[in-house]
Amino acid sequence: MNIARASIDRPIFTWIIMLICLFGGIWGFSALGRLEDPAFTIKQAVVITQYPGASAQQVATEVTEPLEAAIQRMAEVSEIRSVNRPGVSRIDVLVEDTINGDDLPEIWTELRERLQNVRGELPSEATTPVVDDGFGDVYGIFFAVTSEGFTDAERHQLATFLRREILTVDGVADVDIAGLPEEAIFVEPDLALSAQLGIDPQIIGQALATSNSITPAGSVNAGETRTQIQPAEGSDSVSEIAALTIGIGGELLNLIDISEVSRGRQDNPAQIIRFNGQPAFTLGVSGASNENIVDVGNRVDAHLVALATEIPYGVELHPIYQQHVVVDESSTGFLINLAMSVGIVVLVLALFMGPRAALVVGATLLLTVVGTLLFMAIFSIEMERISLGALIIAMGMLVDNAIVVAEGMQIAMARGKSSRDAADEAAGKTQIPLLGATIVGIMAFAGIGLSPDSTGEFMFSLFAVIGISLLLSWVLAVTATPLLGHYVFKQGGESAGDPYGGLVFRGYAAMLRGALHIRWLVLAALIGVTAACYVGFGMVKQQFFPNSNTPLFFVHYTMQQGTPISATAEQMEIVEAYLAEHEDVVAVSTFVGQGATRFLLTYGAEPPNPAYGHLIIRTENLDQIPPLQAELEAFAAQNLPEGEFRTERLVFGPGGGSPIEVRFSGRDPEVLRDLSDQAIALMTDASANILAPRIDWREQELVLRPRYVTERGQAAGISRDDVADMILFATDGVTVGTYREGDRAIPIVVRVAPDSDAGIMDQVLGTQDGSSLLPIEQIVDGFALEPQNTVIRRLDRVPTITVGASIPPDMTAAQVHAEIRSVIEAMSLPIGYKMEWGGEFESSADANASLGAQLPITILIMVLITVLLFNAVRQPLIIWLLVPMSVNGAAIGLLGAGLPFTFTALLGLLSLSGMLIKNGIVLVEEIDIVRREGTALREAIVTASTSRLRPVLLAAATTIMGMIPLLGDAFFVSMAVTIMGGLAFASILTLVAAPVLYDVFFGGARQAKMAAAPA
């Protein structure tokens, strides 16, 4: 039995389906998880190893090299990157994209075991490697906390209190605190008095080392009980540390008698954070992976409101980024756009098909959308940027099936047929072609959604939602649409006029007959237009990801390598003061020394560097960002010439890096620096659009190295380490112990007072027997000044230097890359060295390669489906010849709107191809049906095409009009323009090109019949 007839004969089943879709969709919408981006595993871990006192080259050779060698033996590892700085090694371990996220814990366990096994090969002074496998955690609820007038100790207590309280909120996975003041207990001996008394500073350090230590003190048995003995409490205040006694020559001296003891901030903290110019620390909250981030964020906000009475006056929490608010606004905006799109569809249908058809098709469309939400909830597909985009993309194809069935049924009933017979006729001849065309439309996205790598993981919801919605649209088109038509459509008389006798239909039929008459000219014109559009498409700007909807942008400011963090912070104050005068600036968050906590999945924070400053600037709206960027860069050029200043938009895509990058790899750092200098010169000569060229190794630093005299040092029993310790004491200070304050461990630092007149060469060293103190100049013959690479980067164990550059805001990376590509690739490289492109070119190429790997399979499946539908070759060939022409309207639309071809535009083009193939299948199938009834070829082509005129035009019109609400959305605008322009042109292809091609392919049979006919 025909499904459509059965849906009318047995309406109870159809009503059950419809009610399940309606009420299930309402439940699904409330139950759906909400995220900003799809849940996505960053398959990366970071290994940190400290090697105090070592140069960057020593770190690379003695620590990083053996660790990387051990890591490289893991089959799952795809890439190893390392950054070597004086005293610290950082190794980023990236695993294969095809690895399942659930397998990562086991991989990280194996990584730790391998690093533990190689620990014995590291220098004894190196610490045990620490593996951070939470590198990809996202703290999307991100606050800056200011507390003017509070002491540093009170700020730490406040942070502990807030963290503890927020962790109690249901759904919160972790809370990250950054930027708290770094305190120390400073012990500054009186050098003159110490020398007079013969006190070696090391003796002070030894006394302080155990001032607050915790060691076991045993236990005692008393009868049947066992009592634990705890050690005596240590020094728990600065005054008690100052009162410590030191034995000197048989006498006891209080530490306060020979030293100044104080508590204060460390001179060179790891990070300094300010919010709107005020000192601050940040508080980042991450939600559990299985939680709705909107609910989690609302619960956090409610808990903070409840805590208001317990939070001291003067403490303020300023939101830097609120993921739950962004997601909630996106969801609300989607609902508004969806409602507008459905309303526009119904309005267009009402104008061209009448209110009854608008009611039937509109109801089917609504049921399809809400039914999709039901299945999304069942299959745990969250409502996020990609899945919402999938629903919007699918909107262009959802209405097709219902329009075809409703239009066919309405025409048949107007001719006098009953609703059952009309449904039987309309759906009977189209349900299989529509099903095949629907599957073909789904398969257009299979290459993205089913890719086994990270692209597939990120984009799976796109494929899943499109698949669910399109299949559901077909089911409802052959069940709900006939039933609703049965109730709504009116039956006409057998004498009703020709439904295709109107002026538009007759005009189209006449035009089509003329086109068939001059088919070769039409074909040549189509080829010419297509060729011209492909040339035009080459002129369309290429951009991997569009800019974000969030009114945020970044400033990156990097001073000369070796600049202390205090100097960098002072430079950032200049920018803060300038921005404070701008009314359009809502907030400025300043991070000095390193980037912010990862508050977005696509945010890439800069690693620690005292010479680096970073601003997160929020404006009132997106339109204010470009002019403010230009003003800032002009201001920096005049007022901040000491460093490299650049601004960056927040984009919907991976962060970090530069839009233009080229890498050089080889063994010799000098050769690499020379190649990078050559590349910068060539790039700037080749293009005026290369801005702020830079290398990631930064400048070489001048370092001081003491000239240790071995003979004198050995004679006095003073080693190189003793000299190093003394120099450390005279400069940064020596950490000799720990002062505990609750859960905090505050270092005790012995140092020369910063305001002391004594320099390094004025210091004294104790001899091996402790009998005397020698001036350091007797052991050291001055200092040598030498340049060193203090940043050495490696890629897969090979030193690699990267040249990066920014581009003007009105240019795309693809445009600028095309200007410099030939000159860089023409560079002559020494043997053993290689060049690779990075930046957006590499990211785009990787994404395209991932898509391209799956595309042949999906295209083959789509071709097979079309062949099986027709059980022939010529009809599928006609349909597939239309696909290359789908670019035509997209190119015209993007060029006309001045928009770049982005990743979302690519999705729009895939959707467009699916719609074109779908319309082509139904039209060609209709021509075959009319021909089988005995109609002559050209008349069959005209008759069938005329009957498809209204469904094709209405589907196109409703889709195009339905995209209008998206034109104001930064993420979807290029996709909307691609679909709107492409579909307008695709309608011409379907209604003109397909019939002409059909006539070309089957015209030979007609001519053969004419030749065989008697004269």
pLDDT at 472: 94
Report in angstroms the alpha-carbon separations of 79 from 42, 109, 376, 845, 996. Answer: 13, 18, 35, 17, 53
pLDDT at 73: 92
The C-alpha atoms of residue 284 and residue 286 are separated, in whole angstroms, by 7
Picking from 709, 749, 742, the residue whose alpha carbon sits closest to that of residue 725 is 749
Picking from 321, 968, 270, the residue whose alpha carbon sits closest to that of residue 617 is 321
Beta strand 225-228 with 315-322: parallel, antiparallel or unpaired? unpaired
Q: How confident is the model at residue 234 (pLDDT cuts 50, 70, 90)?
A: very low
| Least confidently predicted of 58-62, 293-297, 601-605, 788-792 | 601-605
Helices (H), 581-639: 625-639
The C-alpha atoms of residue 226 and residue 231 are separated, in whole angstroms, by 16
> Residue 502: which H helix or E strand, with range?
none
915 close to 400: Cβ distance less than 8 angstroms: yes
Q: pTM for the whole thing?
A: 0.82
The C-alpha atoms of residue 163 and residue 868 are separated, in whole angstroms, by 62
pLDDT at 707: 87
The C-alpha atoms of residue 65 and residue 68 are separated, in whole angstroms, by 5
The C-alpha atoms of residue 350 and residue 371 are separated, in whole angstroms, by 24
Beta strand 744-750 with 183-189: parallel, antiparallel or unpaired? parallel
The C-alpha atoms of residue 296 and residue 170 are separated, in whole angstroms, by 7
Task: Give the pair of three-digit tokens for residue 834.
Answer: 């290689």
Across the chain, mean pLDDT equals: 85
**Mean pLDDT across the stretch 506-513?**
91
Q: Environment class of residue 127 by beta-carbon count within 10 Å: exposed (0-12), middle (13-18) or buried (19+)?
A: middle
- 752-773 pLDDT, tens digit per residue, is 888 887 777 777 777 766 667 7
Picking from 511, 575, 537, 401, the residue whose alpha carbon sits closest to that of residue 909 is 537
Task: Give the pair of three-digit tokens for residue 412.
Answer: 């048949």
941 close to 512: Cβ distance less than 8 angstroms: yes
pLDDT at 235: 47
The C-alpha atoms of residue 195 and residue 200 are separated, in whole angstroms, by 8
| Least confidently predicted of 47-61, 557-571, 864-878, 996-1010 | 996-1010
pLDDT score of 126 more than 60: yes
Beta strand 219-222 with 764-766: parallel, antiparallel or unpaired? unpaired
pLDDT score of 850 more than 60: yes
pLDDT score of 639 more than 70: yes
Which runs of E-coded beta strand occur in 86-152? Answer: 88-95, 130-132, 141-147
The C-alpha atoms of residue 972 and residue 956 are separated, in whole angstroms, by 18
The C-alpha atoms of residue 796 and residue 662 are separated, in whole angstroms, by 16
The C-alpha atoms of residue 652 and residue 37 are separated, in whole angstroms, by 9
> Residue 608: which H helix or E strand, with range?
none
Picking from 418, 461, 399, 468, the residue whose alpha carbon sits closest to that of residue 439 is 468
pLDDT at 1015: 39
**Mean pLDDT across the stretch 978-983?**
87
Strand partners, 694: 804
Residue scoring higher pLDDT (627 or 1013):
627
95 close to 453: Cβ distance less than 8 angstroms: no
Picking from 402, 263, 385, 269, the residue whose alpha carbon sits closest to that of residue 334 is 385
pLDDT score of 230 more than 70: no
Q: Tokens 């950490």 sit at which residue?
A: 735
pLDDT at 638: 92
Q: How confident is the model at residue 636 (pLDDT cuts 50, 70, 90)?
A: very high
Picking from 496, 499, 428, 434, the residue whose alpha carbon sits closest to that of residue 8 is 428
pLDDT at 333: 77
The C-alpha atoms of residue 377 and residue 381 are separated, in whole angstroms, by 6
pLDDT score of 637 more than 50: yes
> Residue 208: which H helix or E strand, with range?
helix 201-209
- 772-813 pLDDT, tens digit per residue, is 777 888 888 888 888 899 999 999 999 999 999 988 877 888
Task: Give the pair of three-digit tokens for residue 35.
Answer: 């995220």
441 close to 514: Cβ distance less than 8 angstroms: no
Report in angstroms the alpha-carbon separations of 569 from 149, 340, 543. Answer: 20, 49, 34
The C-alpha atoms of residue 614 and residue 422 are separated, in whole angstroms, by 68
The C-alpha atoms of residue 197 and residue 759 are separated, in whole angstroms, by 20
pLDDT score of 974 more than 70: yes
pLDDT at 112: 93
The C-alpha atoms of residue 471 and residue 492 are separated, in whole angstroms, by 32
pLDDT at 631: 92
**Mean pLDDT across the stretch 885-901?**
86
**Mean pLDDT across the stretch 370-380?**
92
pLDDT at 243: 77
Percent of the chain with pLDDT over 70: 93
pLDDT score of 936 more than 80: yes
pLDDT score of 700 more than 70: yes
Q: Tokens 């919408």 sit at which residue?
A: 29
pLDDT at 228: 64
pLDDT at 215: 47
Share in percent of the chain as helix, strand, coil (round to 5): 55, 20, 25
Q: How confident is the model at residue 150 (pLDDT cuts 50, 70, 90)?
A: very high
**Mean pLDDT across the stretch 174-190?**
90
Give the other-Cβ count within 10 Å of 266's Cβ.
Answer: 16
Helices (H), 810-873: 813-825, 839-870
Amino acid occupying residue 565? I
Beta strand 691-695 with 612-619: parallel, antiparallel or unpaired? unpaired
**Mean pLDDT across the stretch 886-896?**
87
- 410-455 pLDDT, tens digit per residue, is 888 887 888 888 888 888 878 888 888 888 888 888 877 777 777 6
Nearest 5°: phi and psi at 999? -65, -40
Nearest 5°: phi and psi at 336? -65, -45
Task: Spell out the residues 6+ positions from residue 989 whose beta carbon is closer than 8 angstroms to its own.
Answer: 526, 882, 885, 886, 888, 916
pLDDT at 656: 59
Picking from 462, 276, 382, 301, the residue whose alpha carbon sits closest to that of residue 914 is 462
pLDDT at 216: 56
> 979-1002 b/e with 16+ CB inside 10 Å = b?
bbbbbbbbbbbbbbbbbbbbbbeb
How long is the chain? 1015
pLDDT score of 691 more than 80: yes
**Mean pLDDT across the stretch 862-872?**
88
Amino acid occupying residue 6? A
Q: Cα angle at 470 between 29 and 946, to 5 degrees? A: 135
pLDDT score of 396 more than 80: no
**Mean pLDDT across the stretch 101-130?**
91
- 731-749 pLDDT, tens digit per residue, is 888 888 888 877 788 888 8
The C-alpha atoms of residue 357 and residue 373 are separated, in whole angstroms, by 25
Picking from 434, 413, 435, the residue whose alpha carbon sits closest to that of residue 425 is 413
Q: Environment class of residue 654 by beta-carbon count within 10 Å: exposed (0-12), middle (13-18) or buried (19+)?
A: middle
The C-alpha atoms of residue 278 and residue 477 are separated, in whole angstroms, by 61
Strand partners, 663: 802, 836
Residue scoring higher pLDDT (962 or 895):
895
Picking from 973, 964, 856, 980, the residue whose alpha carbon sits closest to that of residue 915 is 980
DSSP for residue 320: E
- 452-467 pLDDT, tens digit per residue, is 777 677 778 888 999 9
Picking from 595, 572, 703, 589, the residue whose alpha carbon sits closest to that of residue 643 is 572
The C-alpha atoms of residue 633 and residue 592 are separated, in whole angstroms, by 19
DSSP for residue 415: T
Torsion of CA 679, 683, 685, 689, to 10 degrees: -160
3-state secondary structure of 85: strand
3-state secondary structure of 158: helix
The C-alpha atoms of residue 69 and residue 47 are separated, in whole angstroms, by 13
pLDDT score of 1013 more than 80: no
The C-alpha atoms of residue 439 and residue 437 are separated, in whole angstroms, by 5
Percent of the chain with pLDDT over 90: 35
Task: Spell out the residues 6+ positions from residue 836 whose beta carbon is closer than 8 angstroms to its own.
Answer: 662, 663, 665, 842
Q: How confident is the model at residue 497 (pLDDT cuts 50, 70, 90)?
A: low
